[in-house]
Amino acid sequence: MFDARNAVQLTQALIRCPSVTPEEGGALHLIADILGAAGFETHLLRFSADGTPDVDNLYARFGRGAPHLLFAGHTDVVPVGDEIKWSAPPFSGEIRDGKLYGRGATDMKGGVAASISAALRFIDKHPDFDGSIGFLITGDEEGPAINGTVKVLEWMRENGETFDHCILGEPTNPEQLGDMIKIGRRGSLTGHIIVQGKQGHVAYPHLADNPIPGMMALVQGVLADPLDEGTAHFGATNCEFTTIDVGNKATNVIPNEVRATFNIRFNDIWTPETLEAEIRKRLDKAAGNRIHYEARFEPTNAIAFMTQPGPFVEKMSAAIEEMTGIKPQLSTTGGTSDARFICKDGPVIEFGLTGKTMHQIDEHADIAEINALAKIYEGVIERYFSSSVLAS
């Protein structure tokens, strides 16, 4: 018999919902039914925006008191790729050799299921606890991230729904459960450079203007000096050029223009605005009066942020160490997540499964690890509500 308090069974049930972004696939409705039956007030929220698909989301809350511990996550998954290469159907939730296979097992239906199972078990034992437990589950994390967490948070503000602390169950551990808690994330800024030249025959360079040397000088100007040396909790800001292209298929033609794209993962020294200003300063210096170029930067909602270590982080660390025997590293590495939106409303940390197989063919999670994660979350909840006031 299906039991939502069993994290593995719930993960399996969620995997069997084919919720490839932006399809809900039945996953959010399944969670809403489970939480509703347990006494949560649930809200299935659909949001829209021009040029993007409609997206379903879920907000649920048990209790009305403070403090309010919010669990966040997503049930949408990336496409399966070549299904023939999977050893089992990607939405079958097959269990084999102690592992649960399926798209989303690691990223992040296992984390969502573990948090729900933990909350239900805690409520069974403490139905009258002082405080609230909530869930913010989106169907738009792997997609544009326009009609998902951002808009749920807006809806929460409009409806007087606040939280004190948040745990986001993304797969954070690189090697084994207990390795790492994310206490922040780097920001991301993408820019484009165009250098104009004059097309011509390679045998008559005096009649043309090759833009490639100019682009090489600009790239060198951006990369010559480090942007910073990092901070106590962040590594150094890093810029990578991802493409330099002239679109030229001929070997005897000097191109008319050259385009380059770069991405910068930046720490909390910078904002997108101050970083853009620094890059433009470097480009102007490298260009001098010789190189005619254009630079533009894409809008970004990926800012650098950090939750300061303190009682909340310590409670998570203690629950992890008790379960795994490992003292987790506090990290700000990796890409972006929906924590970049959540941090504007309250402190957020990330801890979930081991991420070795996320987005891969034959994505899977260890059954023992899913169960252990649920116990860690339950331990965090127990510690969180053991005192009536919790500082950040």
Confidence of residue 388 (pLDDT cuts 50, 70, 90): very low
Confidence of residue 1 (pLDDT cuts 50, 70, 90): confident
| Per-residue pLDDT tens over the stretch 287-342 | 999 999 999 999 998 999 999 999 999 999 999 999 999 999 999 998 889 999 99
Please report whether residue 391 resides in a domain: no
For the chain, the average pLDDT equals 96
Q: Is the pLDDT of residue 263 over 80?
A: yes
Is there a single domain that holds both residue 271 and residue 282? yes
User: Structurally, how many domains does the chain consist of?
Assistant: 2
Q: Model-level pTM? A: 0.91
Please report whether residue 13 resides in a domain: yes
- Tell me what pLDDT residue 205 has: 94
Please report whether residue 2 resides in a domain: no
Going across the sheet that includes 364-366, the strands are: 95-96, 99-101, 364-366
- Tell me what pLDDT residue 252 has: 96
Is there a single domain that holds both residue 73 and residue 200? no
- Tell me what pLDDT residue 387 has: 65
Is there a single domain that holds both residue 164 and residue 215? no
Give the other-Cβ count within 10 Å of 209's Cβ.
18
Residue after which a domain boundary falls, among 265, 297, 329 = 297
Residue after which a domain boundary falls, among 275, 297, 319 = 297
Is there a single domain that holds both residue 313 and residue 204? no
Is there a single domain that holds both residue 79 and residue 62? yes
Residue after which a domain boundary falls, among 254, 281, 297 = 297
- Active-site residues, by number, are 76, 141
Is there a single domain that holds both residue 48 and residue 13? yes
Is there a single domain that holds both residue 275 and residue 328? no
Please report whether residue 392 resides in a domain: no
Please report whether residue 370 resides in a domain: yes
| Per-residue pLDDT tens over the stretch 23-73 | 999 999 999 999 999 999 999 999 999 999 999 999 999 999 999 999 999
Please report whether residue 390 resides in a domain: no
Confidence of residue 234 (pLDDT cuts 50, 70, 90): very high
Q: Is the pLDDT of residue 392 over 50?
A: no
Is there a single domain that holds both residue 102 and residue 12? yes
Backbone angles phi, psi at 212, to 5 degrees: -65, -45
Q: What is the mean pLDDT of residues 112-119?
A: 98
CATH number reported for the structural domain that contains residue 358 in this entry: 3.40.630.10
- Tell me what pLDDT residue 391 has: 45
CATH number reported for the structural domain that contains residue 232 in this entry: 3.30.70.360
Confidence of residue 389 (pLDDT cuts 50, 70, 90): very low
Is there a single domain that holds both residue 312 and residue 354? yes
Please report whether residue 229 resides in a domain: yes
Is there a single domain that holds both residue 169 and residue 271? no
> Which structural domain, as residue segments, surrounds residue 89?
7-185+304-384
Q: How far apart are CA 55 and CA 47, in angstroms?
A: 6
Is there a single domain that holds both residue 175 and residue 245? no
| Per-residue pLDDT tens over the stretch 334-372 | 888 999 999 999 999 999 999 999 999 999 999 999 999
Per cent of the chain over pLDDT 70 is 98
Please report whether residue 123 resides in a domain: yes
- Tell me what pLDDT residue 216 has: 98
Is there a single domain that holds both residue 47 and residue 60? yes
